[in-house]
Amino acid sequence: MAIESWIDVGSCEELAAKPLQQVLLGRTRIALTWKDGEFGAISGVCNHVGGPLGEGTLHGDYVSCPWHFWKFHWRTGEGEPGFEEDRVPAHDVRIENGRVLVRSIPSTKRNRKPHAPHPLAREPHREPGPIRILGLSTTAMHAEHPRYSTSEDLLQCALDAATQTLECETRLLRVRDLNFRMCEGYYSKAARACTWPCSITEMDPTDQMDQVYEGVVHWADVILLSTPIRWGGASALYYKMVERMNCIQNQETVSNKHLLRNKVAGFIITGGQDNVQAVAGQMLGFFAEIGCQFPQFPYIAHSRGWSAEDMHNNQTYVQRSVFLREGAAGLVTRCAEMAKVMIASNLGEHALVRGGRKGHQLDTKAQLQGAVAQPDGTAPETASTS
Q: How far apart are CA 121 and CA 198, in angstroms?
A: 10
Which amino acid type is present at position 203? Answer: M
User: pLDDT tens track of the chain, all 386 residues?
Assistant: 456 799 999 999 999 999 999 999 999 999 999 999 999 999 999 999 999 999 999 999 999 999 999 999 999 999 999 889 999 999 999 999 999 999 999 999 999 988 889 999 999 999 999 999 999 999 999 989 999 999 999 999 999 999 999 999 999 999 999 999 999 999 999 988 999 999 999 999 999 999 999 999 999 999 999 999 988 899 999 999 999 999 999 998 888 888 998 999 999 999 867 789 999 999 999 999 999 999 999 999 998 777 677 777 888 889 999 999 999 999 999 999 999 999 988 655 555 666 666 655 555 655 666 555 444 444 444 433 33
Please tell me the class of the 6-103 domain: mainly beta
Q: Is the CB of residue 131 less than 8 Å from the CB of residue 336?
A: yes
Which amino acid type is present at position 133? Answer: I
pLDDT at 261: 86
Residues near 365 by beta carbon (within 8 Å), at least 6 away in sequence: 371, 380
Render 99-125 in DSSP notation, one character per residue: EEEEESS-SS--B----PPPGGGSPP-
φ/ψ of 312, rounded to 5, equals: -65, -35
Q: Is the CB of residue 76 less than 8 Å from the CB of residue 31?
A: no
Three-state secondary structure call for residue 348 = coil
Q: How far apart are CA 168 and CA 264, in angstroms?
A: 14
pLDDT at 316: 87
pLDDT at 365: 58
pLDDT at 385: 35
Q: How many CA atoms lie within 13 A of 8 on its CB side?
A: 8
Q: How far apart are CA 41 and CA 185, in angstroms?
A: 29
Domain ranges of the chain: 6-103, 119-344
Q: Is the CB of residue 265 less than 8 Å from the CB of residue 135?
A: no
Decide whether 6-103 matches 119-344 in CATH topology.
Answer: no
Q: Is the CB of residue 48 less than 8 Å from the CB of residue 100?
A: no
Cα Rg for the chain, rounded, in angstroms? 27
Residue 178 vs residues 46, 200, 237, 240, 280: alpha-carbon distances, Å? 32, 14, 11, 12, 24
Three-state secondary structure call for residue 285 = helix
Which CATH number is 119-344 given? 3.40.50.360
Q: How far apart are CA 233 and CA 225, in angstroms?
A: 14
Q: Is the CB of residue 204 less than 8 Å from the CB of residue 62?
A: no
Render 289-305 in DSSP notation, one character per residue: HTTEE--SS-EEEEE--
Burial class (CB in 10 A: 0-12, 13-18, 19+), 365: exposed
